[in-house]
Amino acid sequence: MLQVPFRMYSLSSQQIPVCFDRKLFRASSKNCTGFLSMHTTPDYWGRGRKPSYSAKRGSAVYRNNRSRCRRSKSVPRNSKFIHWMVKQVRGHKWSFDTCVGWARRHKQFPTEQIPCTKTLYNLLWRGELPITLFELPEILERKQHGKPRISKHLNGKSIENRPDEVNHRNTFGHWESDTVLGRKCKGEGAAFTIVERLTGCYFMLRIEEKTTAAIAFAMEQLRLEFGEHFAEVFRSITTDNGCEFAAFSDMEAYGTDVYFAHLYSSWKRPVNERSNRMLRRFLPKGTSMNSYSNEQMIMFADEINAMPRKRLGYRTAEELFDEQLDIIYST
């Protein structure tokens, strides 16, 4: 039997020899000796402090050891993924979740280099990423909606009369629209935006002013774009109840159902509001719309349509919209 070298230890105030069977405990002599030294008090040889247990000293040792305990940094701060993510955020206005989802779906980087979205935001708040909070302004804004205000006057059919087919967002051809302003001053241009609820495809047209005539002109451009298939692509439109949409019900003459949301209830059109927030990455509030041409605004819409979305399985709105158009045009 292999044993630890014999030594006298004091256990329960009695000096007795202690030895361990190394085969029984499957441990080396070094480990066995360490175990004994941890759980027993050796003899006092007359030098230094008497080896006895002290709760105060034990607590101090524990706190000192605990201060050095921390989780190892499993996310490399200078990985290829981090550099690529920063480039996408700054160049294409992607969110962290978009970067993570797209990289995982296309297996662009090794799995161990791609952290989860929550980890990236934690690193951002701690200042451990080469990017600032102001480059992701949406995380600084958190809005809560309240109860809807029932409008006393509607420009047409109420959103309450919208069929369940539209509410469930399972079928193609149902849209939401609104206008986006830059500066709130006289003579300032605006943008007419409209987004498809199923695919998230986003169209934006520059209008000279926020009037019914400008909105009608923008819709006429879309009608000419899709021609005889307009009623199949635009089966219904849910829009704001502002005065600029007072004549929007005229679109029903082309086979499109039009519904109006209640005043101060923009969250009733969530897809459009979310898309407009994404537009603010390119056109911050207070920016003059007169500084941009219609071609530039169309380019911003193309950037939004080319962003992978979590709710679309990290596919793009452009892909899904083209697939739906292929189905319509093939029939």
Give residue 6's pLDDT.
43
Question: 191: number of CA atoms within 13 Å, CB side?
Answer: 32
Q: State how far the Cα of 9 lies from the Cα of 228, in Å rounded to an integer.
A: 98
Q: State how far the Cα of 260 lies from the Cα of 155, in Å rounded to an integer.
A: 7
Give residue 286's pLDDT.
85
Q: Sorting pLDDT into bands at 50, 70 and 90, what band is 275?
A: very high
Which residues partner with 315 through β-bridges? Answer: 309
Residue with tokens 């399972």: 170
CB proximity list for 204: less than 8 A, separation 6 or greater: 180, 191, 192, 193, 194, 279, 297, 298, 300, 301
More confident residue, 22 or 114: 114
Q: Sorting pLDDT into bands at 50, 70 and 90, what band is 156?
A: confident
Give residue 241's pLDDT.
85
Closest CA to 248 of 320, 148, 176, 329: 176
* pLDDT 10s digits, 220-236: 999 999 999 999 999 99
CB proximity list for 287: less than 8 A, separation 6 or greater: 182, 183
Closest CA to 206 of 107, 293, 129, 106: 293
118 by Cβ neighbours in 10 Å (0-12 / 13-18 / 19+) ranks as exposed
Q: State how far the Cα of 173 lies from the Cα of 225, in Å rounded to an integer.
A: 15
Give residue 34's pLDDT.
56
Q: Sorting pLDDT into bands at 50, 70 and 90, what band is 189?
A: confident
Least reliable range by pLDDT among 8-17, 104-113, 261-270, 303-312? 8-17
Give residue 217's pLDDT.
92
CA-to-CA separations, 78 to 48, 115, 154, in angstroms, rounded: 50, 13, 55
Give residue 70's pLDDT.
72
52 by Cβ neighbours in 10 Å (0-12 / 13-18 / 19+) ranks as exposed
Closest CA to 129 of 184, 170, 172, 87: 87
Q: Sorting pLDDT into bands at 50, 70 and 90, what band is 82?
A: very high
C-alpha 150 chain-centroid distance: 32
Give residue 42's pLDDT.
55
Element (H, E) at 178: strand 174-181
